[in-house]
Copies of this chain bind each other. A is one copy, B any other.
Amino acid sequence: MDSQLQSYLSEHRDRHLAELIEFVRIPSISASTEHKPDMLKAAEWLADALRRAGLEHVEVLSTAGHPVVYGDWLHAPGQPTALIYGHYDVQPADPLEQWETPPFEPVIRDGKLYGRGATDDKAQLYTHVKTVEAYLNTIGTLPVNVKFCIEGEEEIASPSLPAFLEAQAERLKADAIVISDGPMHDEGAPSICYGLRGLCGFQLDIQGAKNDLHSGLYGGGIANPATALVQLLASMRGDDGHIAIEGFYDGVNELSEAERAAFRELALDDAKQAKELAVPELTGEVGFSFLERTTARPTLEINGIYGGYQGEGLKPIVPSTAGAKISCRLVDHQDPDQIMKRIEAHIKKHKPAGVTVKVQQTHRGKPFYISPEHPYIQAAAKAYEDGFGKEPVYIRSGGSIPIVEVFSRVLGAPVVMMDFGLPGENMHAPNEHFHLDNFDRGIATLCRYWQELQSSGK
């Protein structure tokens, strides 16, 4: 890294971390309506941070939902323009009792910043802001043009962003879209993600009698919605872990021997991982490795299940309702709307008697893929080698950033995912944290990336 940049970043590191802590302190939970004022506060805070970094045309742009924060620096004529996407919203923090320190009172312990949103996505997003600041406050210019487009609805599947992108396509026009919003392959193993799983999320609501009934007087006499739910959900999956919904695997590619060999190369130690997660073993779809199951195979996961009495003691009732929140991760050519249709057909066919079933699709996102050979991906590989001192590996991610596919489609530009998080940083879980040495390495990588992008040309 340029020595000017390096000394600037060292000198200002404490202030940068103090700012980041301020950012993580804002409980910007997009899923919860009661946090709406915090969402606005986070957007305004971020807009100020962009202005302080030297970005121009900074605005908090309203959408149908939470606003988007925009800012740009466009003084590199003839050079490529990078659109940096990220999000200032965070996941809900529950179960609160499992946090060692409160989720919105960020603290640094052992070189890690703990707090909800630390790795997903506030610290990763902030590496971009501080990279711009370092360039403009030292060299006075950036090697490329940059635009920031930071949304507040990523954790609720970006309902407003597609329309926003369509409407603002001119303003957002770019040659590359750069996103830092996920984990690298492993500690000390920087990686470039060239594939993401899609998402089909839905809610299943089962209605029995008009109210809860005494399980002594009615038990056995009428259908129990919780039992109906259990039967319906059990019917969706075979004992071998295959999803038992007709047509579910249509559009899923067979893994080639070359791909499987690459997966074996990257494989982590199953026993070690099981121990870390405190589970007896890693299990799932028969015939596939952990890495294959979590990145290259589709899934159907129960995210939440509920019905009847959950309090202290026992309440002997036949519950009147039961339900589940479910999400499918999709790969290759699976389409979320088509998958939803197939699930609806399955439910229709397997609906237990005596209850009514309602299905509502809540989330949809297509899978994404970019060739690892793309010049902007190769530029990122060089930048990582500089920032982390190590050649990155090429991976697919099991997560879904549906908006990645939308960006690539609506703006017609390649999406480069440059992740600085780590697995085990508890994204979406209690005690979320971010390794701060990757804050420094991330900025170093980005400093180099803008240079490489300039060299790659438009």
Interface residues in chain A, defined as those with a beta carbon under 8 Å from any beta carbon in chain B: 31-33, 91-92, 94-95, 98, 156-157, 183, 197, 199, 201, 203, 208-224, 226-227, 229-231, 233-235, 237, 239, 277-285, 290-291, 293-294, 297-299, 301-319, 322, 324-325, 327, 329, 352-356, 362-363, 397-400, 423, 426-431
Q: Which residues of chain B come closer than 8 Å to A299, judged between CB atoms?
A: 215, 219-220
- Whether B213 pairs with A429 at a CB distance below 8 angstroms is yes
17 A-B residue pairings within 8 Å (CB atoms): A31-B313, A94-B311, A156-B313, A156-B314, A201-B314, A209-B279, A212-B428, A214-B427, A215-B329, A219-B294, A220-B284, A220-B398, A222-B284, A234-B235, A280-B356, A305-B322, A306-B310
Expressed in whole angstroms, the Cα–Cα distance for A28 and B263 within the complex equals 61
- Known contacts A31-B315, A209-B277, A281-B354; 5 further A-B pairs (Cβ under 8 A): A212-B429, A215-B327, A283-B352, A303-B314, A304-B307
User: In the complex, how many angstroms separate the beta carbon of A313 from the nearest chain B beta carbon?
Assistant: 4
- Whether A215 pairs with B284 at a CB distance below 8 angstroms is no
Q: Which residues of chain B come closer than 8 Å to A423, judged between CB atoms?
A: 217
Expressed in whole angstroms, the Cα–Cα distance for A213 and B302 within the complex equals 12
Of chain B, the residue at the smallest CB distance from A327 is B316
User: In the complex, how many angstroms separate the beta carbon of A32 from the nearest chain B beta carbon?
Assistant: 6
User: In the complex, how many angstroms separate the beta carbon of A148 from the nearest chain B beta carbon?
Assistant: 24
Residue among A217, A223, A282 with most chain B CB within 10 A:
A217
Expressed in whole angstroms, the Cα–Cα distance for A400 and B217 within the complex equals 9
Q: Which residues of chain B come closer than 8 Å to A363, judged between CB atoms?
A: 314
User: In the complex, how many angstroms separate the beta carbon of A280 from the nearest chain B beta carbon?
Assistant: 6
User: In the complex, how many angstroms separate the beta carbon of A66 from the nearest chain B beta carbon?
Assistant: 13
Q: Which residues of chain B come closer than 8 Å to A312, judged between CB atoms?
A: 31-33
Given contacts A312-B32, A355-B280, contact A399 B319 (CB under 8 A): no
- Whether B223 pairs with A283 at a CB distance below 8 angstroms is yes
- Whether B279 pairs with A315 at a CB distance below 8 angstroms is no
- Whether A399 pairs with B216 at a CB distance below 8 angstroms is yes
Q: Which residues of chain B come closer than 8 Å to A307, judged between CB atoms?
A: 302, 304-306
Given contacts A212-B429, A312-B32, contact A220 B294 (CB under 8 A): yes
- Whether B316 pairs with A221 at a CB distance below 8 angstroms is no
User: In the complex, how many angstroms separate the beta carbon of A222 from the nearest chain B beta carbon?
Assistant: 5
> Contacting A220 at CB < 8 Å: which of B285, B305, B310?
B285
Expressed in whole angstroms, the Cα–Cα distance for A431 and B210 within the complex equals 12
User: In the complex, how many angstroms separate the beta carbon of A151 from the nearest chain B beta carbon?
Assistant: 16
Q: Which residues of chain B come closer than 8 Å to A283, judged between CB atoms?
A: 222-223, 352-354
Expressed in whole angstroms, the Cα–Cα distance for A285 and B220 within the complex equals 7
Q: Which residues of chain B come closer than 8 Å to A297, judged between CB atoms?
A: 220
Given contacts A217-B397, A231-B234, A284-B220, contact A308 B305 (CB under 8 A): yes
- Whether B294 pairs with A304 at a CB distance below 8 angstroms is no
